Chain A
Amino acid sequence: MTADVVAIDDALAQYDPVMGLEVHVELNTKSKMFCGCPTEFGAPPNTQTCPVCLGLPGALPVVNRRGVESAIKIGLALNCEIAEWCRFARKNYFYPDMPKNFQTSQYDEPIAFNGWTEVVVDGETYRIEIERAHMEEDTGKSTHVGGATGRIQGASHSLVDYNRAGIPLIEIVTKTIEVPPAKAAAVARAFVSQLRDLLLALDVSDVRMDQGSLRCDANVSLKPSGATALGTRTETKNVNSFRSVERAITYEITRQAAVLNAGGKILQETRHWHEDTGITTSGREKSDADDYRYFPEPDLVPVAPSREWVEELRATLPEAPSLRRVRLQTDWGFTDLEMRDVINSGALESIVLTIDLGVAAAAAKKWWLGELARFANESGTDLDALPVGPAEVAEVQKLVDAGTLNDKLARQVFEGLLAGEGTPAEVIEKRGLALVSDDGPLLEAIDRAIAANPGVVEKVNSGKPAAAGALIGAVMKDMRGQADAAKVRELLNAKLGI
C-alpha cells in the first residue's frame, strides 16, 4: 500500500525534520574481517568461504589488522576520539544469511566516537556530529525464488551465498542532524557524498555504491515547527545512492507529514526504500528485534590501539576536505560562487587531476563545468562514467594553447569524445577540425572577403579601422571556423595597411 504524501513545501511549513544517518562501508581489505577468505565482488557463489565465515561448528575468528587500521583512519578523518581499549560484541538474532546467528560487531565500546565533519551546501557550511564508528562484519546474500521479480515477499524459498559473509564493515553513525528544514535532505546527501570522497582518499574502501559497498540507513522523524519534543522515528534502509539519500528522506518527510495531518501515528519501524518507485514501505515487525542480547565476544580479545599506532595512522591521513577546499580556491583564484559551482558539479576531483596535468585552473573549470558536467547531468550519467577524463581534457587544452584548436572546435572535439568517436586526435582527424595555419588559403579567403565587401573596405580606408571586424567575420565564415581569428586579423591588417 502506498501511503499518501503531502507536498514537501507544505510538510516543511508545518514540521521540522530530525534526521540521523547510519552508513555502512565495506572495507577494501584483501581478506575478510575474521578469516583469510578473499573479498572479490562477483565471485561464483560460495567460492569465498571457510569454516569461520560459514559459521561451521568449532571455527573461531581472528581479527584482520588492516580492518582495525581502516577503522581508526576513518575515525581520525571524522575527527573522532580513538578508544584506548575496546571490545567486539555479539549481536544475537536469527537470520538465514547470518552464518552464526549473531553478528560480530561492537556495542558500547566502539573503536571511534565523538567526531564531527563539515559539509557545504549552497555555499553554507553545516557541521555534522559523529556519534561513533565501529567495526563489524557483513552478512551473506539471499536470492529469493518463486516470488515476483526476486522480492522476498511471496518467495517460495531463498538461496544463500555466503561469499559476502564476514567482509569487514565500518558503521558510521551520526548524531541527530539539525539544519534548516529546507536543507535537511540536501545536507544528508552532501554528507554521504563527501564521506565517499573521504573514504576514497583514505583508500579504505572502493565505495562502489552500485555494488553495495556503501549503504545508508536514514532515521527520520518530524516535530511540529518550533517544538522541542521529538517525534517517533522510522529507519529507512536500502538507501544506496546519493540521489536516493535525498529522495528517500524527502519522501519520508512528506509521508510522515501526511500521516500526522490525517491524525495518524507514526510507527517506530524499519522501512525499505524502493529506488524504482521512489517510495518507502513498511518492513515486517520482528518480535525479537529489540533484544539483541549483546555481550562481549568471548572468542576475541580486546583491541587496545597504542597511541603510537594511532599517531602513525594520523600522519598518513590526507588533508581534511574543508581545509583542502579553502586551499584549492586560493590556489586557483576562484570566487566563492565559482568554487560553489565546482563543488556542486561533483567535478572537484577531476578538476584537481586536470590541473595536475598542466592545465590552467580557469580552462579546467570551463571544460568540466561547461561541457562535461553539463553533459553528465543532461544525460543522467555519473561524471566518473564518462569516456572523457582529466587526460583527455588536458590533451584538448594543449591543442588550444598551441593554436591548433580554438574553443569552438574544442567543444566539437568533446562532443566527438563523448559520442565515443575515439581519442582527441582521432576525433579531430575524422571531423576535420584542426585550424588552418597555412597563410596561403587564409590570404585567398581575405582576398575574397575584400572583393565581396567593397563598402567595408571603403569605411576602413576612410579612417574607421574598427570596421575591419566585419571582414574578419567573413573570413572566418569562409574558413568554416577553422582559422585562428588572431592570425586572420594580423594578415588582414597587413593587407589593408592598418
Chain B
Amino acid sequence: MPSITREEVAHLARLARIELSDAELDHLAPQLDQIITLVGQVSQVAADDIPPTSHALPLTNVMREDENVPCLTPEQALSGAPAAEAQRFRVPRILEED
C-alpha cells in the first residue's frame, strides 16, 4: 500500500499549478511515496507536549513605524512583466472561455 497514490500526486500538482505530464507522474509518484515514508518517521516521535520552534531566538513584536518609503517607479515595477498594457500587468483571461 503506497503512502501516496498517483491520483493524489496528480491532485497535488493541480493544486500547486504544475501541469505534469503522464510520464512525470509515473516517475514522481513512486519517488514521493518513498520520501513520504521517510518523512513519516517524525510521527514516531512523541512530542505532544513539546512547543513548536520556528526561530533560533524567540523574537516577538518586530514592527516598523507607519511611515512611507520610496516606491519603485512604475517602469521598474513592470520591468520584468511578461506583458504590460496601460501601465498595468497584462495577464491572460482569469476565467476559462465559456
Which A residues are within 8 Å of any B CB, using their own CB? 29-31, 35-38, 44-51, 54, 56, 62-68, 85, 94-96, 142-146, 152-162, 284, 287-288, 291, 296, 298, 300-305
> Could you tell me the distance in whole angstroms from the C-beta of A168 to the nearest C-beta in chain B?
9
Closest to B15 in A: A288
| B15 engages A68 (CB within 8 Å) | no
| B64 engages A152 (CB within 8 Å) | no
Give the residues in chain A near B68, CB-CB below 8 Å. Answer: 30-31, 36-38
A-B contact pairs, 7 of them (CB 8 A): A31-B68, A38-B68, A45-B88, A49-B77, A51-B72, A158-B91, A302-B60
CB contact list, B1-36 vs A, under 8 A: 14-15, 17
Q: Which of A63, A96, A160 contacts B63 (CB 8 A)?
A: A63
- Given the interface contacts A85-B60, A144-B94, A157-B92, does A45 sit within 8 Å of B66 by beta carbon? no
Give the residues in chain A near B91, CB-CB below 8 Å. Answer: 96, 142, 157-160
| B72 engages A49 (CB within 8 Å) | yes
Closest to A54 in B: B77
Count A-B contacts at CB 8 Å. Answer: 130
| A46 engages B88 (CB within 8 Å) | yes
CB contact list, B71-98 vs A, under 8 A: 71-74, 77-78, 80, 85-95, 98
Give the residues in chain A near B54, CB-CB below 8 Å. Answer: 296, 298
Q: How many residues of B contact A (CB 8 A)?
A: 35
B61 within 8 A of A: yes
| A160 engages B67 (CB within 8 Å) | no
| B67 engages A30 (CB within 8 Å) | yes
Rounded to whole angstroms, the CA-CA distance of A155 and B65 in the bound complex is 41
Q: Which of A44, A287, A304 contacts B87 (CB 8 A)?
A: A44
Binding site secondary structure of chain A: loop
| B93 engages A62 (CB within 8 Å) | no
Q: Which of B59, B86, B94 contacts A155 (CB 8 A)?
A: B94
The 8 closest A-B pairs by CB, nearest first: A36-B69, A159-B88, A66-B66, A65-B63, A304-B60, A301-B59, A160-B89, A96-B91
| A158 engages B61 (CB within 8 Å) | no
| B60 engages A65 (CB within 8 Å) | no
Give the residues in chain B near A35, CB-CB below 8 Å. Answer: 69
Rounded to whole angstroms, the CA-CA distance of A204 and B94 in the bound complex is 33
Rounded to whole angstroms, the CA-CA distance of A291 and B8 in the bound complex is 14
Give the residues in chain B near A44, CB-CB below 8 Å. Answer: 74, 87
Q: Which of A48, A153, A157, A284 contacts B71 (CB 8 A)?
A: A48
Rounded to whole angstroms, the CA-CA distance of A298 and B71 in the bound complex is 25
Rounded to whole angstroms, the CA-CA distance of A155 and B93 in the bound complex is 6
